[in-house]
Every structure is written in C-alpha cells, then in structure tokens.
Amino acid sequence: MRSANAPSPTPPDRWFPTRKPLPDPRLRLFCLPFAGGSAAIYNGWGAGMPVGVELCPVQLPGRERRLMEKPIDNLPALVDALLPVLAPLLDRPFAFFGYSMGSRISLELTRRLQLRNGPMPRGLILAASSPPRVNDREPIHHLPEAEFIAHLRKYDGTPEEILQHRELLELLLPTLRADFGLAWWENGNHAVKLDVPISAMGAVDDKHVPVEKLETWREETSSADFRVRTFEGGHFFIRQKQDALLAAVREDLQRWMAPAP
C-alpha cells in the first residue's frame, strides 16, 4: 500500500495533453520542446503527419496547465520521470523529435533505453542543436537575473511582452532557468554511440548553432542512416519555415515507420 505521505505519480495525460490516440498507430512521434516552449508549439502538426503516425507532444512541468509544478533542471531526473509515462506507449514503433533543448532530452532518453536494452526509436530528428560533445555555450542559467534576461532576448524565443511583464516573468523565470540548464547539461558518463538513425536539422542564419556543427551529430550514431538538412531562417525556423520542416519530418518518418497493412 502506498504511504499516505508519498507523492502520487503524475497522470500520463499531463505529459501528453494534446495526444489524440489512434486505434492502430504505425508509429508514435514524441515531440520535445525548446527551452521555455510547451506542447503547444506542435499544435497543427497532426495534419502534416503521414497516415498512421500518432503525434505525442510532451508537456514538461512548469508550463501551461503545469505552470505551478516545479520545473526539472536535472537531465537524469527528467529522464527518470519521463520513462515510466513513455513506457506504455513504446509498444509500437516510435521516434523522437527534439527541438533545441528537446534534442538534448531526446538523445538522453535514447541513451537510457539503449543501456536498459529497452525498445529503441526508429530514428531521432534533432533540430536547432549541436550534440553535447561540442557544447561550447555559456551556462546562462547561472547568471544574475538581469544578465539572464538579456541573454533570453538574444535567443528571440521569449516574446518581448512577457519579458516586459514583471509578474508573468517572475512566474516563468524558474522554468526558463531550468530549461537552459537542461539544454546545457554535460555529456555524462554514458555517452555511448547509438545504433539509431539520426536526422539533424538546422538553419543557415542560426547564430547559436552554426550549420557546420550539425555534421557532428554523426558521431553519436553507428547507423549508416544519417542526414543533415538545412533551412532558411534563424534559430526558430520551426516557426519561420514550418511547412518545409514538416515536409522533411514526413520524409524521415516514412522511411522509418512500419509498413502499412
């Protein structure tokens, strides 16, 4: 019997609030957000998926309806929390799509699954991010508030109206700090190569992830199925070039998904 003082597990639907289950999916695509982002960034993606793909955007603590939950700033702890809610959905072929911070989470989830000899994704789509082995970014999550906010402006991911709204900003700052901590997280002790296809995507004007760094994702996999694609736009080409990005995602998924019955 559960102790009266033990916390209840987080219901799975809080992690996947916009998932629309299919009766017989050929593949599930789990989508992880950028720092400060939420499952809402994938609204509308369902219509752009190949037939049989079940879209599963992941909602992390500290945003939208989970705003009052403490954000997780420790990558191993986040993987510990995510794997139990993912596990029941890994009974079908699946893939991960990670954008910026989401790429780091996707990589670590796959590493953990491989270490456990668990089910493995058909592929990883990693966008707007360089691999942790070439992490040369400043750990801005440790900066004093004014400097941290100044760096947020450089990323163009947080709307200016939020940065100017003192009360709202105070609510969001812990989540933003936690997210940038996750994105910066060191490579860890289990940085083994994955036997999983990787598709790396970036933008030609991304000041934070130069396109030449995308090629270094090849070092994370022993699979011959490795691709690099570049798009017009900056770090948030997910907004600027969504149609082109979705077309590339569809192409990858169609290669990886189970054949139609």
> Which whole-number Å values give the CA distances from 112 to 117, 143, 149, 193, 197, in the listed order?
9, 30, 33, 12, 16
Is 1 within the bounds of a domain?
no
Is 122 within the bounds of a domain?
yes
- Global pTM reads 0.88
CATH number at residue 64: 3.40.50.1820
Is 7 within the bounds of a domain?
no
Kindly state the average pLDDT of the residues 99-110: 95
Is 157 within the bounds of a domain?
yes
Rounded to 10 degrees, what is the CA torsion of 187, 192, 206, 197? -150
Is 2 within the bounds of a domain?
no
The catalytically annotated residue of 3, 8, 38, 100 is 100
User: Could you give the CA distance from residue 57 to residue 97 in angstroms, rounded to a whole number?
Assistant: 9
The tens digit of pLDDT for each residue in 161-199 reads 666 556 666 777 888 888 888 888 777 656 788 999 999
Look at residue 215 in the predicted model and tell me its pLDDT: 95
Is 3 within the bounds of a domain?
no
The tens digit of pLDDT for each residue in 8-34 reads 445 568 999 999 999 999 999 999 999
* Residue 203 structural domain: 12-256
Is 6 within the bounds of a domain?
no
At 20, the amino acid letter reads K
Domains of the chain: total: 1
Is 215 within the bounds of a domain?
yes
222 assigned to active site: no
Look at residue 1 in the predicted model and tell me its pLDDT: 36
Look at residue 238 in the predicted model and tell me its pLDDT: 95
Rounded to 10 deg, the angle between the 166-184 and 101-115 helix axes is 40
The tens digit of pLDDT for each residue in 211-236 reads 999 999 999 999 999 999 999 999 99
